[in-house]
A and B are shown apart, each in its own frame.
Chain A
């Protein structure tokens, strides 16, 4: 929970407001994948660690999906779009 709040606060402070939620969503989904890897990779000594890691993976996924749904797509699309003219200028 604290990790999510800290990450969201950092994104709010660093990024333009329009892309905070999509970037937070990407971060949360990546964190979910990392948590799932921790659960399946046999580094743990107790099975309860795997259970906790799966719970974290689920929680990060749910938060990531919620952030993606609540965020707007258009600012991200607009952020990606300027790549096109810039590369043409370089050519």
Chain B
């Protein structure tokens, strides 16, 4: 077993900070993955969650590698927020449409007019949302664990586990009680509006100077 007293105090603090930041920032990824996967038939749901987690992990690694360059780009946060808003709009339209069970029933009756959410649509939504949210996550975590790469790796692992477990629980709940998906959508809408708000104040000095 690892003796914690052997670890430098700064590293322990960094790990604690990363745990808290990841709990806060992996939450929105988990909700969006759960929302997108909930519209799929049970057989494809776990695959969609896996795609979401892999995409989020790859994106976080890629963004972490170029975190300094990303910080220098003005308007990135605003663009990410708008992208997320578009995902919200797509999810809103899907929620207003027939549920997965209704679609299954209609397909059994050979009713070709009922739209069916595909695995590709769900995966695409998850990846687009992951791009927006991973940007925010990496910049925050990289700031806390700059001098402690092990804390960064630990944080990445933790967020993968958290996203996978949380998204599975949420997808299971939303599939059974569809109205709760509106609450999930409201959470993602809040994240998108907050990103747009922060992004606007970031570009404001450059635009109105």
Q: Chain A interface (Cβ within 8 Å of chain B)?
A: 22, 25-26, 29, 32-33, 36, 54-55, 57-59, 61-62, 64-66, 68-71, 73, 76-77, 80-81, 83-84, 87-88
Contacts and interface: CB of A to CB of B under 8 A. Distances in A.
Interface in B160-195: 165-166, 169-170, 172-174, 176-177, 180, 183-184, 187, 190-191
A80 B170 CA distance: 30
Interface string B3-16: 00000011011001
Interface in B8-46: 9-10, 12-13, 16-17, 20-21, 23-25, 27-28, 30-31
Contacts of A26: 23
B152 to A, nearest CB: 15
Given A58-B172, A59-B173, A65 B187 contact: yes
B13 A88 contact: no
Interface of B: 9-10, 12-13, 16-17, 20-21, 23-25, 27-28, 30-31, 140, 144, 165-166, 169-170, 172-174, 176-177, 180, 183-184, 187, 190-191
A76 B19 CA distance: 11
**What does DSSP make chain B's interface, helix, strand, loop or mixed?**
helix
Contacts, number: 96
Main secondary structure, interface of A, reads helix
A61 B190 contact: no
A25 B187 CA distance: 14
B13 A62 contact: no
A88 B114 CA distance: 66
Nearest to B166: A61
Closest 4 CB pairs of A and B: A58-B173, A65-B27, A68-B27, A61-B169
Nearest to A90: B9
A22 B177 CA distance: 26
Given A65-B187, A68-B23, A83 B169 contact: no
